[in-house]
Amino acid sequence: MRNRFTFKTIAAAIITLFAVSFLSPAVQADSHTNSASALKGTWTGPSTGYAGSKYTSGFEKIVITKVKGSSAHGTWQYKTSSAAKWGSPKPANFSIFKDSDGDFIVNGTDATGTYFGHLTPEGAWILTYQSPELLMSLQFVLKKQ
């Protein structure tokens, strides 16, 4: 009897742990839809990459103010150091979808480039920004504030 109770207890603990980690509110989008509601809010973090032939690093801020279905609208800002002031906000649009592996992919665009990325189970929004006009390729690692 004791072994049976122990097995049930362990099985219940594993199922509970899995459910809690899977359903974590960090940035999990609705598991049944391509809802952009997980994106709403302020996201900030570091960026690194190349602009032309020069390696650059700085900080990015994306603020999502409107969401409808799988679409989101907001602004993007940049600063060169943690002590610098944010640049003026520029409009940006995004869309979210769940791929065949169950990952949430988030792509977008602004006036000069395109964003490609995904939401991580740990709560990060990782984006690659590509701008042919500026010959720029940057990676952002953003966290929701």
pLDDT at 91: 98
pLDDT at residue 1 tops 70: no
pLDDT at 6: 56
Instruction: Confirm or reject CATH 2.40.128.20 for domain 36-144, answering yes or no.
Output: yes
Domain extents in the chain:
36-144
pLDDT at residue 32 tops 50: no
pLDDT at 35: 86
pTM here? Answer: 0.77
Q: Which two tokens stand for residue 95?
A: 């869309």
* Cβ contact 125:106 at 8 Å: yes
141 burial (CB, 10 Å; 0-12 / 13-18 / 19+) is middle
Q: What is the DSSP string of 9-29?
A: HHHHHHHHHHHHHHT-TTTPP
Work out the number of other CB atoms within 10 angstroms of the CB of residue 58.
Answer: 17
3-class SS of residue 2:
helix
pLDDT per residue over 110-140, tens digit each?
A: 999 999 999 999 999 999 999 999 999 999 9
Residue predicted with more confidence, 144 or 9: 144
